[in-house]
Chain A
Amino acid sequence: MSKISLERLQARFPKDVLAVETLPHGDDVARVRREAIVEICHFLRDDPELDFKMLSDLTIIDSLTRRSEAFGGSSRASMEAPPHVRQQPSEAAVRFTVIYQLYSITKKHRVRLKADLDDKEPHLESVSSLWKTANWLERAAFDLFGVKFDGHPNMERIFLYPEFKGYPLRKDYPVNKRQPLVEERNFPDLVRGPGPGPGGAGVPMSQTLVGRINVNRETYD
């Protein structure tokens, strides 16, 4: 539908637009050089024929285990890839990709921009000067992925507390890890033990606090 936006984008930035694609279900995607992101966004926003006045969404993909999960048998996200997969040279060396979803209310079309980032110290120019909504969206991306946005007025965590270590949506952040701000009381969960997800620490019923009081040791375990 909005083939025009991809064409115009390519015509205007022949070097900075690395690839364009229309996916089978109709999404238009353009992969762009990260150095030119602000320039490209500025053009998309102000060009009268494209008129992308709204930044619908901004998010990040961490591609660390994307391949290994796809080929490594059962997919256990957030676990490290098994050794035989890790040794293979990875197809995509890029780890973080920033995704922008733009929308034009007047033209009723959408485009998705993708910018691949450096692996070490991922950072990107902020677009918060173009769209006001980018302020919080970039903060959320920084909070959960640790990607810094240069030129952002207030690059701080938004959901998590400042003392939080690490970035939870990165694929190498273990899903069961806990780092409470206030120390957790020693009150084991009756069924799962500490931590989210089934399995937990597997505390036998009779050893839990509730179990000790209510459950007959002979009956269980």
Chain B
Amino acid sequence: MINANADAFSAEQDLPSKEMVINLGPSHPAMHGTVRVRARLDGETLRKMELDIGFLHRGFEKSSENSTWTQVLPYTDRLNYVSPLLNNVGYIMAVEKLIGIKDPERSQYIRVIAGEISRICDHLTCLGAMALELGAFTAFLYGIEARELLWDRVTELTGARMTTSWTRIGGVANDLPDGWAEKLKKTLPKVAELREEMDKLLTKNRIFIDRCKGVGEITQEEAVSYGFTGPCLRATGIDYDVRKAHPYLVYDRLDWTVPVGTRGDTFDRYLVRVEEMRLSEKMILQCLAQMPEGDYIVRDYRYALPPKSEVYSSIEGAMAHFKLIMEGTQVPAGEVYSYTEGANGELGWFLVSNGKGKPYRVHVRAPGFTILSALPRLCEGHLLSDLVPTFDSINMIGGEVEQ
């Protein structure tokens, strides 16, 4: 009897097992945006994984080449729709670098504040979604509530929650609304409370740790070779942050440090993002304290629209307005590679102008693109279920990756 049972057990072990190919996405709740994964499974282990992207390809670069320099701006919102302000700032700074102008000091502070708000929103969304897909619905709700609080402020500032299109060549579209800074100062503690709540729910959560620690690890050398930037690179322990390595705007006047991880796994990427949210809040408060009065956009009407009062009352104003609207900003011929720190890493813009009102070539170096290309490397050899937190932690944004 006992022998027979043992035989049956070993026979079961020897059953021939075949590798199985399964298909996730492009329309799948865990595949943010529209990414298709073709995975070869051995049991539950991912043996081989191929990514199929491009379902969201909209021809961003082609559209940009057929628009004026300012008309490209709304397209940049749609690249990373979770932190559009950072894209706006990155693009406009590239154009300004090509022209060779600098925006006024106040505008620089406003850009930093807006950008850091966007960064917090981006990280909240990323971590919230990550928690949600691991079964922690509450943490997701806290994250989204905090994001909505900030988006209220963004709405007051720009008039839109996501499609902000708010920066302008030489500055920003409008000054801070009356009393906005005070409102923001009241909002930030509420956001901090929700963020800390989320942090408490997740960081020491047994299930969350088990699902994330040691999953999707990558070494420093490999991460650099794959072109990792942003939180994913810093999770491996390399302290490369464009804001620190090549300070732009007023980041060199703010007091902050770059948080880094040690192992480069999913849990470290999570921790780095949580810490960055705290730092962003700190930076916003410092900016509000330091911010000087003054212009929020340059008074050079070759690049910036004159105020309406001048358009309607003076011939120079009317002419400048007409030329800018009809012909577009005249950017001198040349080319430039400009880079800022987006929410997910180095957001690079390669612009070519041939001296007319339209860009000859616009190319965006989306941080997510290079990071996503490493996803098979991060996941192969792990369980299929580990794909979900790893994919969440690199925070792939379909808009920028698939252009």
> A-side interface residues toward B, CB under 8 Å?
23-25, 27, 53-57, 59, 61-62, 66-67, 69-70, 75-78, 99, 101, 105, 108, 110, 112, 131-133, 135-137, 140, 144, 157-161, 168-169, 173, 175, 196-197
Residue among A53, A57, A77, A161 making CB contact with B337, cutoff 8 Å:
A57
Residue among B61, B365, B372, B374 making CB contact with A57, cutoff 8 Å:
B365
**B 185-235 contacts with A by CB, 8 A:** 221-222, 224-227
Give bound CA distance, A161 to B354, whole Å. 32
User: Do B238 and A105 touch (CB < 8 A)?
Assistant: yes
B356 contacts which chain A residues (CB < 8 A)? 69-70, 75
The 9 A-B pairs of least Cβ separation, nearest first, read A133-B227, A159-B54, A136-B373, A75-B356, A159-B57, A57-B365, A70-B354, A59-B363, A133-B370
17 pairs from A and B in contact (CB 8 Å cutoff): A25-B336, A27-B336, A56-B339, A56-B346, A56-B348, A61-B361, A70-B355, A70-B356, A75-B358, A77-B360, A78-B62, A132-B226, A132-B373, A133-B225, A133-B373, A144-B61, A159-B54
Cβ of B65 within 8 Å of any chain A Cβ, yes or no, is yes
A76 contacts which chain B residues (CB < 8 A)? 66
A59 contacts which chain B residues (CB < 8 A)? 350, 363
Given contacts A56-B346, A133-B227, A158-B53, contact A25 B66 (CB under 8 A): no
Cβ of B290 within 8 Å of any chain A Cβ, yes or no, is no
User: Do B226 and A133 touch (CB < 8 A)?
Assistant: yes
Given contacts A99-B350, A136-B370, A159-B53, contact A53 B224 (CB under 8 A): yes
B interface residues, tally (CB under 8 Å): 49
B53 contacts which chain A residues (CB < 8 A)? 158-159
B363 contacts which chain A residues (CB < 8 A)? 57, 59
B350 contacts which chain A residues (CB < 8 A)? 57, 59, 99, 101
Give bound CA distance, A159 to B60, whole Å. 12
User: Do B360 and A69 touch (CB < 8 A)?
Assistant: yes
Most chain B beta carbons < 10 A, residue from A57, A78, A131, A196: A57
> B-side interface residues toward A, CB under 8 Å?
53-54, 57, 59, 61-63, 65-66, 97-98, 100, 221-222, 224-227, 238, 240, 245-246, 333-337, 339, 346, 348, 350, 352, 354-358, 360-361, 363, 365, 369-370, 372-374, 377, 402-403
The B interface, classified by DSSP as helix, strand, loop or mixed, is: mixed
Shortest C-beta distance, A62 to chain B (Å), equals: 8
